[in-house]
Amino acid sequence: MRVAIYRRAFPGAVLAVTHRGALVALQGFGRFTYDPASPTVEADTVFDLASVTKVVATTAMAMILYERGVLHLDSPASDMLPEFATFGPPSQLAQRQTVTVRMLPAHSSGLPAYVPLFEAARTRDELIRDACATPLVAAPGSEAIYSDIGFILLGEMLERLAGEPLDAFVRKEVFAPLGMWRTSFTPPPETRLVIPPTADDRAFRRRVIQGEVNDDNAYVMGGVSGHAGLFAPAIDVARFAECMLRGGAPILQPGTVELFTRREDSPPGTSRALGWDTPSQPSSSGRHFSRRSFGHLGYTGTSLWIDPDRQLSVTLLTNRTWPDCASQAIKQVRPLVHDAIIEAL
């Protein structure tokens, strides 16, 4: 971790490791920025989780609604989001009606990876409308394409099914029962200066992004979206990981956790589970995580990997995007960190 900071993979980080039900490591490294006068990262420093939001919030909500019989994985997505079929290109109408709910968390809907919807949309409703109208780039079910757009739509669908906003639902049904007291969307303004900045944005917001979501699509949505927006300290993410290692207790049943974390059979060759990813070669989880492991990465330099065979979880939170999102060194750091942890254990 210190070598990674020295080599400017990221200015600061927190690492949390749980093993066999115990917290065995929790430590902060580095500073908020590369300025030697900037604040030191502490063990309890809150980070922008970026796409780790997809599992800790959105997939958790999907699991709960599935368990309650509200979410039906093999129903057409357009049953709950009629706009998805009607707003898209007319030539794709028949294809779009074959997209199932399951295909959104499995990233097999045929939607593209990313579209800068924020460039045209000015409100949450406008961005949801534009996401619904986004053309498919592959036939549904034909290939796995990791898609932020799919998770924006999944988040909207879950809100409609639950009858309440994503942030309110997960605060009540996930974070409170697990004691994740410092996990939230849209941190209060008075706490922003104790959160490491993620970028010096010269293009869109034209300011340092600190204590507000790095992702511009999520920003236009008010900081609450199915694909990004969650902030948390590593210890809270570790609490969520321990819940998964306990088979979902106290918020889920083991069968639900097993279903959502098991690698999908289709499309052929996919590494995706429902919301979660699984180790592929090469993997950010390194060389030693078992085949039954599951995890997720975040654009800002965050990650969570869970190995049920070893009863192990590793939470790594960084702000590798500071100052300009250019550094990709996190790709080399992640597997080295995971290998070192398992070899030490």
Cβ of 137: how many Cβ atoms within 10 Å? 14
- pLDDT digit string (tens) for 85-126? 999 999 999 999 999 999 999 999 999 999 999 999 999 999
Q: What is the pLDDT of residue 122?
A: 97
Report the share of the chain in percent with pLDDT over 70.
100
Cis amide leading into 282 (omega within 30):
yes
Distance in angstroms (rounded) separating the CA atoms of residues 166 and 227: 11
Confidence (pLDDT) at 169: 98
| Beta carbons of 5 and 36 less than 8 angstroms apart | no
Residue partners of 164: CB distance under 8 A and separation at least 6: none
The per-residue pLDDT for range 126-181, each reduced to its tens digit, is 999 999 999 999 999 999 999 999 999 999 999 999 999 999 999 999 999 999 99
CB 49 within 8 A of CB 56: yes
pLDDT tens, residue by residue, 273-291: 999 999 998 999 999 999 9
DSSP 115: -
Tens of pLDDT, residues 172-221: 999 999 999 999 999 999 999 999 999 999 999 999 999 999 999 999 99
Q: Decide if 139 contacts 95 (C-beta within 8 A).
A: yes
Confidence at residue 86, expressed as pLDDT on a 0 to 100 scale: 93
Measured in residues, the chain has a length of 345
Query: 227 and 53 in contact (C-beta within 8 Å)?
Result: yes
Q: What is the pLDDT of residue 49?
A: 99
pLDDT at 292: 97
Q: What is the mean pLDDT of residues 36-47?
A: 98
Percent of the chain whose pLDDT exceeds 90: 100
Q: Residue 100's pLDDT is what? A: 98
The CB-side HSE value for 108 (13 A sphere, CA atoms) comes to: 25
| CA atoms of 177 and 38, how far apart (whole Å) | 35
| pTM of full prediction above 0.85 | yes
What Å distances lie between residue 139 and 92, 96, 99, 335, CA to CA? 10, 9, 9, 33
Query: In the structure encoding, which two tokens stand for residue 161, read together?
Result: 């099914």
